[in-house]
Amino acid sequence: MPAPVSSPSEFAFELALCARLEQTTDWLPARQLGASVASPGSRIIDVCAVVPGPEFDERARITDSEIPATAIESDVGAGSAVFWRDGFDCHPARARRATDRAVEVGFFESERRRSREYVRRAARYPHDWFSRLVGIENKPDLGSPGDLLRQLRLDVSLAVFDEVILSTESYVTGAHLNRIPGEVGVWRFDPDTGDREVVREPQPLSPGSTGVEPTEYHSLHTDVALVSPAEKRTARLRLAERAYGKGWRAYDLPACAHARADADGRPACAHFDRVVDPGSECGADCSAFEAADPPELDRDGLRESRTGWVADPAGAVRRQSGLDRYF
């Protein structure tokens, strides 16, 4: 008989997997990113792992933050500066937001001419900085699948990712594998030891082809949208950039005397001796809560020491370090 599942919180399971991937691969894992196109926000992937490509170092030299896809795909070049609005083919408000952010992170340079703002690119954008996007859905306990199968079917039919993987702590049976789309890889992961067993390898998806995204589910039919290769290219670029800028440690540590950060930067509780979810387990409702300043956590230092990501590179606009970039 297989050993019983300990059923950790999905939050703790997710952080353990991200920490392990960071230690054992050259991937850049990030958590909780939007992975739909036609219906933004309707699909949030648990982990998006960015696999570095041949131009990764060039990307790392530009900025440690997300560069807006709208700015990357704009007509703003590195030569003569152009009036900011003329460089975009989109709503002016969207162009304004992209311009401001691109200037802030050092991707655009800005100058004033007779009270009008002109911009140019400060650096060439290396489109080959990532080679693959891997989507990972975490379900520690397959006995409570929820919307798992619907989510995985969407990921496969839309194919924004190059590969999709299901990660679980459960014992995986043949019945489980038969229900999961054949393209989806399956890992059995132990969050306590970090051991990862590949139960089934993922099959390559087709990000360069037209995708099919379910948008509304009805009792007798499902509404779908066809997503063009061009739309998927933009979605992939946006995903990769958001993952690069955000990482996986985008959480507040608990403001409690028992709170600490473990060696991986995960929020832990000395009283209960385990990783905790600050958003649902910590605070005045906890019987052991003692108000205190949250512990310090060097997110940038940890990430830079364990991945190819570079904190505050020479090409970036210098700024005081803070937590605002993570939210």
pLDDT over 60 (residue 323): no
Strands lying side by side in the sheet with 82-83: 82-83, 116-121, 108-113
Look up residue 128 and give its DSSP letter. Answer: G
Query: What percent of the chain stands above pLDDT 90?
Result: 84
**Residue 283 counted as domain residue:** no
Instruction: Please state which of the ranges 60-64, 191-195, 217-221, 285-289 shows the lowest mean pLDDT.
Output: 217-221
Q: For 233, phi and psi rounded to 5 degrees?
A: -60, -45
**Residue 264 counted as domain residue:** no
Could you tell me if 219 and 94 lie in one domain?
Answer: no
Query: What percent of the chain stands above pLDDT 70?
Result: 94
Could you tell me if 80 and 110 lie in one domain?
Answer: yes
Could you tell me if 77 and 204 lie in one domain?
Answer: no
Give per-residue pLDDT as tens, 140-184.
Answer: 999 888 899 999 999 999 999 999 999 999 999 999 999 999 999
Could you tell me if 145 and 203 lie in one domain?
Answer: yes
Give per-residue pLDDT as tens, 251-309.
Answer: 999 999 999 999 999 999 999 999 999 988 898 889 999 999 999 999 999 999 999 99
pLDDT over 50 (residue 321): no
Q: The domain that contains 33 carries what CATH number?
A: 3.40.1350
Residue 290 token pair: 């003692």
**Residue 199 counted as domain residue:** yes
Residue 26: CB partners within 8 Å, gap ≥ 6? 51, 52, 307, 308
Could you tell me if 106 and 49 lie in one domain?
Answer: no
**Residue 180 counted as domain residue:** yes
**Helix residue ranges, H only, the chain:** 10-24, 56-62, 69-72, 92-105, 148-158, 174-179, 229-246, 278-281, 299-306
The per-residue pLDDT for 326 is 36
Task: Look up the domain containing 103 and give its range.
Answer: 68-121
Average pLDDT over residues 219-245: 95
- Looking at every residue in the chain, the average pLDDT score rounds to 92
The pTM of the full predicted model, rounded to 2 decimals, is 0.91
Amino acid at 321: S
**DSSP states of 196-225 as a string?**
EEEEEPPPP--TTS-EEEEEEE-SS-EEEE
Provide the number of structural domains found in the chain.
Answer: 2
Could you tell me if 91 and 179 lie in one domain?
Answer: no
Distance CA 75, CA 54 (A): 24
pLDDT over 80 (residue 2): no
Tokens 């900011």 belong to 84
Could you tell me if 35 and 156 lie in one domain?
Answer: yes
